[in-house]
Amino acid sequence: MNLSTVILAAGLGTRMKSSTPKLLHLVCGNPIIKYVVDAVAALKADKNIIVVGSDNKEIRAALTGYPFTFAIQKKQKGTADALKAAVRKLENFDGTILVLNGDTPLIDPSTLQKFLKIHSRNKEDISIISFMVEGSNSYGRIIRDGKRVRAIIEDRDADKEQKKIKEVNSGIYVIKNHILKLLSEIKMNREKGEYQLTDIIDIAVKKGCRIAAHILGNETELTGINTREELYKAGHYLSNKIVTGWMNKGVSFIDKTSVFIHPEAEIGMDTIIYPNVHIEGKTIIGNDCVIYPNTRIANSIIGNSVVIKDSTIIESSTIKDKATVGPFAHLRPGSVIGSFSQIGNFVEIKKAVVGDGTKASHLSYLGDAEIGKGVNIGAGTITCNYDGEVKHKTVIEDNAFIGSDTQLIAPVKVGKGAYVGAGSTITEDVPPLSLAVSRTAQVNIENWALRKHKKGESNKLKNKKGGHE
Ligand code: UD1
Ligand code: CA
């Protein structure tokens, strides 16, 4: 079949009450429009068009790399006007056109495939995907005359009886090329000031065209997002579907309602995920891991049997097998944590490679650092990587021991097996196997406290005698 697709994505989305274009709002980490574009791209049509407004930088940026042609609708004058903007890009196209709203992110590509098959088998001029709804709604109603579709009436234009109709329009249509010329016959809806694509049905019916609506998919799959509440519901629906999918592959969840996993993420068997965990972007988590509560992992690779303790943030980093990270740790982009390593309470790591079996258990900042194997980083160690202008590197070689409360003024290197005494400020390289200490020698003044107390007493006496000071 000679197929073109058109996604209508130029609407202002005023019902979202947002300064962000509606279709760029996120559902499980991806913009609404990306899901629709993915579903359409899976059809491998001959031509894909997406209708956007004049202010379209952000939407174009969100869709880089997709085989889509952008058509511009200068003023948002309704869905029929949006399709007209695409027609200019369809000149000389002779075939079938799939038209979709851009705000239907839960659409399954297999529903679209089924729909296209039905359309070509039935030789219809216009086919519509419809679905059944419960309760009040703002969708266009499918008006039938017996079995035949006679019109689509928008909710706001419907009378009391029409409002009761439960079969509604999904905003997904397949039309034959010749139907496009009827677009010019659509009159402006006075109340809304818009040209409504749905009015084409009545016009086509009067011309004797073959039109049918097919109930394919349900209210959830075909939901069109207009409001924040619908956005919220779609996010939760998709999240639940993703979490259930991982459960079926052997992942345990303590509370699936508070967990968010992006569609691109992967989780290995026997991993246990506690409440309020967010796994974002292209994160890959191995087998047998435990991820404790209030943790966010974005675009990271976690090996097998890794334990992430409570309230930890991991961004664009790698953690190797059997390492432990957290609680309250922050791995900033570019960090690599070796096998069996322990990164503990209140430790921040940035662009640092930490070797196997190394421990930094408490209150440290390790940035722009290369840390070897079996290193012990004492509590309160800080790599002073920034001189106010540029960043410098700290190298700590295998089996070195860094005493607590050490500042390493980069660029600096601590050699293999060397020791740094607690409380040191290290400004020069420490040779392997040596001890570096840089603190003032301790002085003990005997009986100092006694003398101080005596002085205090004589002062008190003075005050008593003298009354006010
Ligand atoms: C539309 C349908 C309604 C259907 C519902 C399904 C019309 C008139 N109504 O209503 O029958 O039940 O979808 O979800 O078509 N857009 C543009 N340019 C515009 C206006 C809209 O590109 O000038 C785009 C929007 O970005 C959106 C899509 O068209 O992706 C639908 O517009 P929207 O305003 O959401 O239509 P609904 O009122 O939901
Ligand atoms: Ca809509």
Domain ranges of the chain: 3-222, 248-436
Q: Is the CB of 99 under 6 A from ligand 1?
A: no
**Ligand 1 pocket check: which of 5, 7, 8 to mutate, most ligand atoms within 8 Å of Cβ?**
8
- Name the pLDDT band for 467 (thresholds 50, 70, 90): very low
The dihedral through the CA atoms of 416, 422, 426, 428 has a sign that is negative
- pLDDT on residue 339: 98
- pLDDT on residue 91: 83
Look up residue 359 and give its DSSP letter. E
Q: What residue type is 125 in one-letter code? A: D
> Where would I find the H helices in 42-101?
57-62, 79-87
Atom of ligand 1 nearest to the CA of 194: 23
Q: Is the CB of 140 under 6 A from ligand 1?
A: yes
Would you state the structure tokens that stand for residue 377, as one six-digit string?
Answer: 């980083």
pLDDT at 462 over 90: no
- Helix 109-122 and helix 32-41, axial crossing angle in degrees, nearest 10: 50
Q: Is the CB of 27 under 6 A from ligand 1?
A: no
Q: What is the DSSP string of 276-312?
A: SEEEESS-EE-SS-EE-SSEEEES-EE-SS-EE-SS-
Over range 446-459, report the average pLDDT. 87
pLDDT at 466 over 90: no
Over range 137-144, report the average pLDDT. 97
Omega prior to 432 cis, within 30 of 0:
no
Q: What is the pLDDT of residues 249-270, one digit of tens each?
A: 999 999 999 999 999 999 999 9
Over range 278-288, report the average pLDDT. 98
Mean pLDDT of the chain: 96
Q: Is the CB of 301 under 6 A from ligand 1?
A: no
Q: What is the pLDDT of residues 197-231, one digit of tens each?
A: 999 999 999 999 999 999 999 999 999 999 999 99
**Residue of minimum CA distance from atom 37 in ligand 1:** 139
248-436 domain in CATH 2.160.10.10? yes
Q: Is the CB of 51 under 6 A from ligand 1?
A: yes
pTM of the model: 0.91
Q: Which ligand is nearest to the CA of 51?
A: 1
Cα of first residue to Cα of last residue in the chain, in angstroms, is 102
- pLDDT on residue 191: 86
- Return d(Cα 51, Cα 63) in angstroms, integer: 13
The closest of 419, 425, 420 to 383, measured between CA atoms, is 425
Over range 122-145, report the average pLDDT. 96
Question: Among 3.50.40.10, 3.40.50.1000, 3.90.550.10, 3.40.50.880, what is the CATH number of 3-222?
Answer: 3.90.550.10
- Ligand 1: distance of its center to the CA of 171 in Å? 7
pLDDT at 463 over 90: no
- Return d(Cα 243, Cα 201) in angstroms, integer: 40
Would you state the structure tokens that stand for residue 16, as one six-digit string?
Answer: 């979202």
Query: What angle is formed at CA 261 by the lines to CA 352 and CA 324, rounded to 5 degrees?
Result: 35
- pLDDT on residue 465: 57
- Ligand 2: distance of its center to the CA of 201 in Å? 18
Among this protein's residues, is 392 annotated catalytic? Answer: no
Whether the Cβ atoms of residue 374 and residue 359 lie closer than 8 Å to each other: no
Facing residues of 328 across strands?
none
% the chain with pLDDT above 90? 94
- Ligand 1: distance of its center to the CA of 145 in Å? 24
Atom of ligand 1 nearest to the CA of 140: 11
Assign residue 310 a region (left: φ > 0; alpha: ψ between -120 and 50; beta: otherwise).
beta
Position of tokens 């194997």? 373
- pLDDT on residue 335: 98
CA 116 to chain centre: 31
**186 — phi, psi (to 5°)?**
-70, 130
Whether the Cβ atoms of residue 431 and residue 419 lie closer than 8 Å to each other: no
Exposed e or buried b for every residue in 146-165, given b needs 16+ CB within 10 A? eeebebbbbeebbeeeeeeb
Contacts of 1 (CB under 8 A, 6+ apart): 95, 96, 116, 120
Report CA dihedral (136, 241, 67, 26) to the nearest 10 degrees: 60
Q: What is the pLDDT of residues 145-201, one digit of tens each?
A: 999 999 999 999 999 999 999 999 999 999 999 999 999 999 999 888 999 999 999
- Name the pLDDT band for 118 (thresholds 50, 70, 90): very high
Over range 100-123, report the average pLDDT. 97
- pLDDT on residue 337: 98
- pLDDT on residue 469: 44
Q: What is the pLDDT of residues 332-366, one digit of tens each?
A: 999 999 999 999 999 999 999 999 999 999 999 99
Q: What is the pLDDT of residues 299-345, one digit of tens each?
A: 999 999 999 999 999 999 999 999 999 999 999 999 999 999 999 99
Over range 8-28, report the average pLDDT. 95
**Residue of minimum CA distance from atom 22 in ligand 1:** 10
Facing residues of 376 across strands?
359, 401
- Return d(Cα 96, Cα 285) in angstroms, integer: 43
